[in-house]
Amino acid sequence: MAKHETFGIKPGQRVLITAGAAGIGRVVADAFAAVGAKIHVCDVVPEVIASCKKERPEWGVSTSEVSKEDQVAKMFADVKKSLGGLDVLVNNAGIGGPTGGVEKITPDEWRQTIDINLNGQYYCAHHAVPLLRQNAPESSIICISSVAGRLGYALRTPYAATKWAIIGFMKSLAQELGPEGIRVNAILPGIVEGPRMTRVIESRAKATNLAYKEMEQQYLNKISLRRMVSPQDVANMALYLVSPLGRNVTGQPISVCGDVVAL
């Protein structure tokens, strides 16, 4: 991140990014680090955690499954030790969930998607807000939702349901915490290039008996700009939202998607 792209962010902000050791979360963490933030991330994959510790020894790192409240509580104890407080929570952790018709999705698959994507957001906000209050009105929460949180998504009902719910959670928190100056927004990434999207397209292609390239083109045809977005595009929006330029932006579901019109 070049210096002119810092949006006036004050160095030293203490930022927690869930699922921040790899994928989109890692790009977001790197972007905040590049503007002088102090970083703590969590993940559940031992190899990912080990790699992150090696590459970013100055960051705090926790092993935490956000669907488990006791593990989230332990993570926030780690955050207090590594950062001494918290200014920004990026509620990023989530899974794609199963692909298939609603009659084929099992109750266990449904519950797992809800537990990670929605309950995890609650658990993290529950533990973060007391810390964020200590630095209000300079603190904020960013919830990572999806364009599936404003569109229907056939064959991905658990995922879409959680992403819609995250927006309701975000807007309610914005109203609840706004009088204290704590801002809460949601970023709705679209079709984000990378391994995770490749897996999603593969699963959907298989479920609909199409070739991968044909399914990929179907996705692109539903984007006004006819291209995927990058994890860095998502990170740039996160930086803007916590910056002085975004000081009056709260309660907003903001799509970073090239204008996805359908899924």
The catalytic residue positions are 159, 163
Distance in angstroms (rounded) separating the CA atoms of residues 98 and 20: 22
- Residue entry with tokens 């969590």: 42
For helices 157-177 and 107-114, angle between their N-to-C axes, nearest 10 degrees: 30
SS3 state of residue 87: coil
Asked if 233 contacts 256 with a C-beta cutoff of 8 angstroms, the reply is: yes
Continuous H helices in the chain: 23-34, 46-55, 69-83, 107-114, 120-133, 157-177, 195-207, 212-221, 231-242
How far apart CA 254 and CA 218 sit, in angstroms, is 23
Q: The tokens of 44 are what?
A: 């559940």
> In sequence order, what are the residues at sequence separation of 6 or more whose Cβ sits closer than 8 angstroms to the Cβ of residue 92?
17, 18, 19, 20, 24, 25, 28, 144
What contacts 260, CB < 8 A, 6 or more positions away?
147, 151, 190, 191, 222, 223, 224
